[in-house]
Structure 1
Amino acid sequence: MYHLTTDHQLNASCNNSLPFSNWTVRDDALQLPTFTTAAKIRVIITCILCGISAFCNLAVLWAAHRDGKRKSHVKVLIINLTVADLLVTFIVMPVDAVWNITVQWLAGDFACRLLMFLKLQAMYSCAFVTVVISLDRQSAILNPLAISKASKRNRVMLTVAWGMSVMLSVPQMFLFHNVTIIHPEDFTQCATRGSFVTHWHETAYNMFTFSCLFLLPLVIMITCYTRIFCEISKRLKKDNLPSNEVHLRCSKNNIPRARMRTLKMSIVIVSSFIICWTPYYLLGLWYWFFPEDLEGKVSHSLTHILFIFGLVNACLDPVIYGLFTIHFRKGLRRFYCNATTKSNLDNMTVLTASFTCATNSLPLKREVSPASQDRFMLSSDDNHSKAEGVFQPSRAHG
């Protein structure tokens, strides 16, 4: 994190001096960052991830738009997380890539303040929407009879999540500014130098940001899924099922199958967030408390790798949707087929293109719509459960 700057070495160099009123600095001992080989590799990988994430997440939005007839609060949660991932894709990734290429900040003071605000807001929104998903799954499992209130409850939680992501990011606009170094050469950077009276003020702000951005969401997620696990275990004990039947029957007898599938999807989403970002945030903690040790023991290549590993999370979410959600998977398949067909048509003659369109359109007339397939699957699951004498809600969209 390191205030989400590009190079923590420069940020440390710019912030280790006493407060000053003039933003033009003369520092003979300062080592300016350069566009190293590790930074070049970081830029290449970041651009690749940006393209993959943009394609996948836009495909999810396209699939959600084409499937507009389905009214599901889970779908709303997925769309919100997709929008948050797109903010990371179109703000965090491009800014990071360009900043590594230019090394210094060339966009001016206003862009410095605005983009630092937007970068942190994008990361806050990803964390907070993931928390909302965890809270929604907890409510769906612990209080299944309140499913009718889920849409209204989620709207409130999403509003709070987006509002807090904006509010908590506002300080970035006042802390970051252009800092110009005149020796050994003119060099301008977007940093927080001079914004904190003492070093412990900066550490306190960093810890507050770390707590809100990662630690608090992590605690809430772990608490939610611990309660879910305890509730499922309690239901299994009540049923007195043999140990060899627990895994096979838990999704049928205790929790409606559609709700269990959504629960598994949310667990994978949360796990992806935790696995991708934990190493980077732990390195940030080390930097805030022991910056001298970090400089001597950790190479810049490792910081590049860990940050890129965190960005992978934005690419994984749409893949997870496709694996666990039937209508999104089919929508993504249609998106890919339409894109492929359009590309092929551009390279064909008019006659060949007409023949291809005619032949490709035949199976589509017999294809069952994704919504109908979902309804068929849910109804068949319900009938199977009813045949076993087990109660399930007729609409299990949890």
Structure 2
Amino acid sequence: MDLLGSSPPTSLYPLPVNCSSSSSPPTSASPSLASTALFCALLSLLSLLGITGNLYTLVLLLRRSRGRRRRGASCCFRIPVPSCLAPTTSPSSSPTSSPSSSSSLHLQVLSLALADLLYLFTAPFIVYNSLVSEWAFGELGCRLILSLDFLTMHASIFTLTAMSLDRYRAVAHPLRTSSSSSSNLLRVGLAWGLAVALSLPMMITLHLEDGENHKGQLCVPAWDEQSSKVYLSVLFCTSILGPGLAIGALYATLGRLYWVSQTRPAWAAGNNSACPPRAPKPKVLLLILGIVLAFWACFLPFWIWQLLPLYQPDMLPAVPVGTQVTVNRILTGLTYGNSCVNPFFYTLLTGKQKRSRQVPAPANQLCRKSPPLQ
């Protein structure tokens, strides 16, 4: 993940993964050709697997979306009844199995898969740049390709936050009217809009510079150390810290609701005139939590590596250049690995929704067929 572009070792920023610096120290301090070849092969494999998996997810979602539209065309109308008042026909029934909730979840998974695909499509450029040790895609490529890191990272975590919020609302407030398709689309669009806004400063400031002795060009941001420290600190809060606290609070509340639903006597819920919160569906919630935890596990180490030199400037010079490049490559492979693993979560998550919809329809969905032609 090239968060900071292709800065030289003498830059204010940590070494990038592609290490495309013509002003690098002596060759003995740099990673060997075998190390570079291994990194490029691993990144290419992760990219191939991730693109295949996410394309499969997209095709699967589109096919299921067409199937839902065909099934919906067979009914003239439905008489909705609050889910807590409907008879329980199966242990699998839950707020997440309603058509609107399922449509919202599929749209969010679609957003996550698109973000993964955009990020994975940058891998060939990183591989090529690692081999030639020079930025070869012009200033437009410098601005677009390296800014996709920020864009896709924020689009993913904002979508995951919205997904967690939807699960919370479906459990804690089952009587509220389900969101419409337009509002679901608006939330996903807002997540991407905020991601674009946060990535714009990097996109605007990235530019090409000649390396030392005019050997090759480097893609670097045009700001000083203090500006970089402020900007990256803000992005750390918007991509890791802030969403982490919000999602943690939502899941802590859901955990409490689940505990109450399992320990409260059956007669206690019947005394309430309004519908109590529904018991969460553990498998669906755990799958969403798994996607969130995988995101943090893959991106948090890279963020720590990027921020440490800004807050501990004496640390980086003490680390050999070859070690810095190796650490960057390992952590970059970890971020691409996240996009490679996600499709397995997406398939399991949408599969749970499909099985939920296959449960016999309860009495709160009544379809009136047209009378036969006379």
TM-score by length of 1: 0.69
Q: Does 1:218 align with 2:244?
A: yes
1:231 to 2:257 alignment: yes
Cα gap change, 1:182 to 1:260, in 2 (>3 Å): closer
Report the number of matched residues: 311
Match of 2:79 in 1: none
Shift, 1:288, TM fit: 2.1
Residue 104 (structure 1) aligned with residue 134 (structure 2): yes
Shift in Å at residue 51 of structure 1?
A: 0.4
Taking CA–CA contacts closer than 8 Å with sequence separation of 6 or more, which of the two structures ends up with the larger relative contact order? 2
Residue 313 of structure 1 corresponds to: 338
Tell me, in whole angstroms, the C-alpha distance in 1 between the residues paired with 2:349 and 2:23: 55
Instruction: Name 1:5's counterpart in structure 2.
Output: 5
CA 1:30–1:102: 2 relative to 1, 3 Å: closer
Matches within 5 A, 1:232-381: 232-239=258-265, 255=278, 259-297=281-319, 299=323, 300-326=325-351, 374-376=356-358, 378-379=359-360
Aligned to 2:62: 65
**Cα distance in 1 for residues equivalent to 2:207 and 2:241:** 27
Q: Is the 8 A contact 1:5 1:11 kept in 2?
A: no
**In the alignment, is the contact (CA less than 8 A) between 2:171 and 2:277 conserved in 1?**
no
Gaps of 5+ in 2: 14-20, 69-98, 268-275, 367-374
Percent sequence identity is 22
Query: Structure 2 vs 1, CA of residues 182 and 315 (structure 1 numbering), >3 Å: closer, same or farther?
Result: closer
In the alignment, what sits opposite 1:78? 109
Q: Aligned equivalents of 2:4 and 2:23: distance in 1? A: 24
Distance in 1 of aligned mates of 2:114 and 2:129: 23
2:25 pairs, out of 17, 24, 31, with: 31
Shift of 1:119: 3.1
Q: Does 1:156 align with 2:186?
A: yes
Q: Structure 1 residues 114, 144: closer, same or farther in 2, change over 3 A?
A: same
Whether 1:171 and 2:201 are equivalent positions in the alignment is: yes
1:43 maps to: 40
Contact 2:162/2:187 (8 A) holds in 1: yes
Q: CA deviation at 1:178?
A: 0.6
Give the aligned residue type for 2:120.
Answer: T
Gaps of 5+ in 1: 17-26, 242-252, 329-370, 384-392
Structure 1 position 82, deviation (Å): 0.8
Aligned position for 1:190: 219
Q: TM-score w.r.t. structure 2 length?
A: 0.73
Which residue of structure 1 lines up, in the alignment, with residue 160 of structure 2?
130
RMSD: 3.2
Q: CA deviation at 1:44?
A: 1.1
CA 1:75/1:46 → structure 2, altered by over 3 Å: closer, same or farther?
same
Cα pair distance change 1:42/1:5, threshold 3 Å: farther
Could you say which structure has the higher helix fraction? 1
